[in-house]
């Protein structure tokens, strides 16, 4: 399946380009799992299957940015992602058509292999994605449903301060009192002492929790739902530990390829502050306590 272009003015036009004019949708089965988009497994008349995401027409930028992120990861040649076939608008809806990944049986050593693949992605050349700076991305995108600013910066710590923490703090400002806002200011001013500049910039998945990888037909890990940017590899690893962590075999495989830097555990929660702030902004004050605990610790 292929399409000469990615963007289409209707779902039928996209299907004609991707599958051929004689191919029809026989059945659309809802797929559970996401909380932002509607998702379907499309069973086609030629026996093929496609995965489709759907949202309101004014949300098409979600799909354009997702396609860019998957393309960036796939271009690294290190770990698999579903192929994006098409996106566009159809009346009041927007859509994204992708390769449907049939779940397979995991290979022996699945998590060690996963860790090694991610480390390979983190060591791949990513200079094409940041333009005028060393860290960031060619376009802004999304972290879940939250807007993610990727304007490039030459220094990682400046990027993390200006493009990650500060926009989230500003969005959540109404949740904090003056004492807490002062603690945020102290934290932002201390980042140069708390974080490290990486020796190598890394292409990051950006939202790497257990719901954002699947097992492919090859039995290996495939990445989905990226929030990509170029940053410090520790930010991806920290996210894997935010909601319970991956199996230890994953970290064993990762650190076999990309050695662990001294003091990572002291930086991990600071990187995850970004995600907790994003959750606070998206889902409400259930995350307020966790956010403030980290701010108090580092300020």
Instruction: Name the residues annotated as catalytic.
Output: 207
What's the rounded Cα separation, in Å, for the pair 261 and 237?
Answer: 12
Helix axis angle for 288-298 and 264-283, nearest 10°, is 150
Give yes or no for a contact between 215 and 221, defined as CB atoms under 8 angstroms apart. yes
Q: Is the dihedral of CA 249, 117, 241, 154 positive or negative?
A: positive
- Measure the CA dihedral 271/277/279/282, to 10°: -140
Long-range contacts (CB closer than 8 Å, 24 or more residues apart) made by 147-155: 148/206, 148/227, 148/229, 150/229, 155/197
Q: Is 273 exposed, middle or buried (0-12, 13-18, 19+ CB in 10 A)?
A: buried
CA distance 182 to 101: 48
> Is 233 within 8 Å of 258 (Cβ atoms)?
yes
Helices (H) and strands (E) in the chain, counts: 10, 12
Q: How far is CA 52 from CA 13, 43, 93, in A?
A: 14, 11, 12
Q: What angle do CA 259, 270, 277 make, to 5 degrees?
A: 130
* Secondary structure (DSSP) of 48-81: -EEEEEEEEGGGHHHHHHHHHHHHHHHHTTSSB-
Supply φ then ψ for residue 94, to 5 degrees.
-115, 160
């Amino acid at each position: 399946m292929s399409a000469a272009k990615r963007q289409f003015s209707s779902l039928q036009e996209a299907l004609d380009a991707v599958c051929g004019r004689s191919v029809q949708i026989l059945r659309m089965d809802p797929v559970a799992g996401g909380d932002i988009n509607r998702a379907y497994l499309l069973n086609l008349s030629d026996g093929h299957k496609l995965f489709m995401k759907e949202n309101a027409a004014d949300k098409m930028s979600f799909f354009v940015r997702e396609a860019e992120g998957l393309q960036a990861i796939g271009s690294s040649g290190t770990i698999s992602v579903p192929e994006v076939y098409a996106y566009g608008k159809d009346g009041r809806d927007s859509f994204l058509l992708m390769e449907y990944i049939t779940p397979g049986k995991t290979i022996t050593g699945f998590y060690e292999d996963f860790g090694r693949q991610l480390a390979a992605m983190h060591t791949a050349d990513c200079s094409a994605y940041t333009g005028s700076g060393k860290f960031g991305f060619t376009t802004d995108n999304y972290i879940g449903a939250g807007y993610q600013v990727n304007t490039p910066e030459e220094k990682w710590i400046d990027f993390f301060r200006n493009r990650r923490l500060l926009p989230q703090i500003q969005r959540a400002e109404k949740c904090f009192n003056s004492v807490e806002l002062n603690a945020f200011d102290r934290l932002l001013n201390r980042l140069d002492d708390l974080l490290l500049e990486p020796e190598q910039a890394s292409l990051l998945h950006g939202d790497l929790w257990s719901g954002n990888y699947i097992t492919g037909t090859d039995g290996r890990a495939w990445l989905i739902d990226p929030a990509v940017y170029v940053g410090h590899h520790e930010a991806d690893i920290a996210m894997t530990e935010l909601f319970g962590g991956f199996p230890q075999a994953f970290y064993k495989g990762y650190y076999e390829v990309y050695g662990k830097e001294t003091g990572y555990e002291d930086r991990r929660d600071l990187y995850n502050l970004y995600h907790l702030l994003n959750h606070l902004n998206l889902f409400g004050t259930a995350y307020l306590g966790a956010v403030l605990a980290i701010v108090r610790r580092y300020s």
